[in-house]
Structure 1
Amino acid sequence: MVTLSPRTVSDHVALAEIELCGELMIAASAAIGERLSADRIDEVLDVQVITERTTVPRQADHRGDGAGDRRGPRP
């Protein structure tokens, strides 16, 4: 007798990972070169590239008045 357990979140994650691996294998088998480029992998996995600021802006930068700067208002 087989006991079935309820599906868990990890089941959905595992299935999604298997599907992504399958997509990569299909793309790799159709590729002309020896390996997929990073851009092609991103395309297959539908990766969206988002550029972010590398520094944290100061509060005064958002206000534009220099009030958040300890040195006083900007000239």
Structure 2
Amino acid sequence: MRVAPVGGTAVQDHVALAEIELCGELIIAASAADEDRLSQESIDEVLKVAEERADASGY
């Protein structure tokens, strides 16, 4: 059996960590929502889609 060495050798996948954070934010928003499902607009708001599009277009 192989065991990972102890002491700060963990590799971090920043993309995976960002995805986990976004999923967590969606879960929190869904649990706080009054409706059974989040609307597409609510999901876009949680994920800050409009902000990303504005940053990408330079406006």
TM-score class, shorter: 0.5 to 0.7
TM-score normalised according to structure 1 size = 0.55
Distance in 2, Cα, partners of 1:40 & 1:5:
39
Instruction: Report the identity percentage.
Output: 60
Q: Structure 2 CA distance, aligned partners of 1:34 and 1:12?
A: 31
State TM-score, norm by structure 2: 0.68
Compare the two structures and name the one with the higher helix fraction: 2
Q: Which runs of 5+ in 2 are unaligned?
A: 55-59
More RCO (CA 8 Å, sep 6+):
2
Flag structure 1 segments of 5+ consecutive residues without an equivalent: 51-75
Whole-Å separation in 1 of the counterparts to 2:25 and 2:10: 27
Letter in 1 for 2:39: S
Answer with 1 or 2: which has the greater Rg.
Answer: 1
Deviating runs (4+, > 6 A) in structure 1?
none
- Counterparts of 1:1-20 in structure 2, within 5 Å, are 2-3=4-5, 5=9, 7=11, 11-20=13-22
Instruction: Choose from 24, 27, 31 the match for 1:22.
Output: 24
